[in-house]
């Protein structure tokens, strides 16, 4: 049966534009955000604002969550007044937050006890991809639930891959953060060398982005870093949350990840200077500090 009624919980940098795209795609949308003001633009565009996550779930055949960390997903899904209190048997919960694979599996199991299906569906593509509806979505869960949710996921993403059972989506997202973190460091080192050699880093980005060393980070975050625009996109604090999950998973599987550990330490420098709410492109400032610049 085609899903028409969709819910969205967590209207932050990612969730806000994802919800807007669902509305634009014609879904009947019910939303909730802890800080109510963030729901206002969506209400103005035609969404219904509910009083709790449970109310969102009760009104929806498929409910998205996109909140910060593992404990926050547990709170909005499994907590009092949470999704689990409102979701009807047969409905689907899709969590797009980046959280620990073990928490994703716990959420799946507890919802399953109520007859509610779940997918862990973390996303990649940043605020740019969230606005454009072109996110990459890595989905864990059973194949039948994936097929039912797929038409809805197409309203927010472009590359949508079922990667395995519950928790597998989060494992793949952690792999994404490994590659993303090291690409950020590569971007920052290229900018640092270029600038300190007296060459215009904007020119460097223009040409290097188009060649074999090109990356999403160089293309989208490089210009922001060079311009000194450190507004998030993706906050340093969130990247540190993710790199913490990465290093936990690395430890559990005895997988040496020296590059990811290094990137985590560089972001630690920024957090120590009170810059956790900057975008991750601020990694250039950590290198400037290492080079003896004041930053
Ligand atoms: P954000 O702008 O900080 O938004 C976080 C959202 O979660 C806000 O709506 C916040 O509500 C809500 N929230 C957090 N804790 C909550 C709790 N305990 N109860 C209820 N609501 C809670 O973060 P974001 O950048 O959108 O990131 C959201 C998730 O997507 C994170 O897991 C992040 O790792 C992941 N992600 C982000 C990006 C990116 O580029 N930004 C890319 C891929 C994945 P309030 O408004 O009340 O604070």
What per-residue confidence (pLDDT) applies to 1? Answer: 75
Share of residues in the chain with pLDDT > 90 (%): 98
Q: Cα dihedral angle (267, 38, 107, 118), rounded to 10 degrees?
A: -120
What average pLDDT does this structure show over 84-104? 98
Neighbours of 253 (CB within 10 A): 9
Q: Are the C-beta atoms of residues 84 and 51 closer than 8 Å to each other?
A: no
Instruction: Name the closest-CA residue to atom 44, ligand 1.
Output: 123
Axis crossing angle, helix 236-252 with helix 258-272, rounded to the nearest 10: 150
- Rounded to the nearest whole angstrom, what is the distance from the C-alpha of residue 68 to the centroid of ligand 1? 4
Q: How far apart, in whole angstroms, are the C-alpha atoms of residue 82 and residue 62?
A: 14
> Does residue 174 have its Cβ closer than 6 Å to ligand 1?
no
Query: Which residue among 13, 80, 137 is best mutated to probe the pocket of ligand 1, counting the most ligand atoms within 8 A of its Cβ?
Result: 13
CA-CA distance, 206 to 46, in Å (whole number)? 40
Q: What is the per-residue pLDDT across 128-173, written as a single tens digit (0 to 9) for each?
A: 999 999 999 999 999 999 999 999 999 999 999 999 999 999 999 9
CA distances to 216, 267, 288 from 270, rounded to whole Å, are 22, 5, 11
pLDDT in tens, 272-290: 999 999 999 999 999 999 9
Closest atom of ligand 1 to 122 CA is: 44
Q: Which residues are catalytic?
A: 173
Neighbours of 221 (CB within 10 A): 28
Instruction: Label residue 110 by pLDDT band (50, 70, 90).
Output: very high
Tell me the per-residue pLDDT of 47-59, one tens digit each, with 9 for 90 and over.
Answer: 999 999 999 999 9
The predicted model scores a pTM of: 0.95
The whole-number pLDDT of residue 6 equals 98
Give the residue among 155, 153, 158, 157 at the shortest CA–CA distance from 21. Answer: 155
Any atom of ligand 1 within 6 Å of the Cβ of 75: yes
Question: How confident is the model at residue 264, as a pLDDT?
Answer: 98
């Amino acid at each position: 049966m085609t899903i028409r009624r969709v819910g969205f919980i967590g209207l932050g940098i990612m969730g806000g534009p994802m919800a807007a795209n669902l509305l634009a795609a014609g879904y009947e949308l019910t939303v909730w955000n802890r800080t109510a003001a963030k729901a206002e633009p969506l209400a103005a565009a035609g969404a219904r604002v509910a009083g709790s996550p449970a109310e969102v779930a009760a009104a929806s055949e498929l409910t998205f969550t996109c909140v910060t960390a593992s404990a926050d997903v547990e709170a909005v899904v499994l907590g009092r007044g949470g999704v689990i209190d409102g979701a009807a048997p047969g409905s689907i919960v899709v969590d797009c937050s980046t959280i620990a694979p073990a928490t994703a599996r716990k959420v799946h199991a507890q919802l399953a006890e109520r007859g509610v299906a779940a997918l862990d569906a973390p996303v990649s593509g940043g605020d740019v991809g969230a606005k454009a509806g072109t996110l990459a979505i890595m989905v864990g869960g059973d194949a039948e639930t994936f097929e039912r949710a797929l038409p809805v996921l197409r309203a927010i993403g472009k590359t949508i891959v079922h990667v395995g059972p519950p928790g597998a989506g989060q494992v793949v997202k952690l792999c994404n953060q490994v590659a993303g973190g090291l690409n950020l460091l590569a971007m920052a080192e290229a900018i640092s060398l270029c600038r300190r050699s007296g060459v215009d880093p904007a020119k460097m980005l223009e040409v290097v982005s188009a060649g074999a060393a090109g990356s999403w980070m160089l293309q989208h975050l490089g210009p922001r870093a060079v311009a000194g625009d450190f507004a998030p996109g993706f906050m340093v604090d969130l990247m540190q949350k993710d790199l913490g999950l990465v290093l936990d998973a690395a430890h559990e599987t005895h997988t040496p990840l020296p590059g990811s550990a290094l990137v985590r330490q560089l972001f630690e420098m920024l957090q120590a200077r009170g810059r956790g709410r900057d975008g991750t492109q601020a990694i250039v400032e950590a290198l400037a500090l290492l080079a003896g610049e004041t930053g």
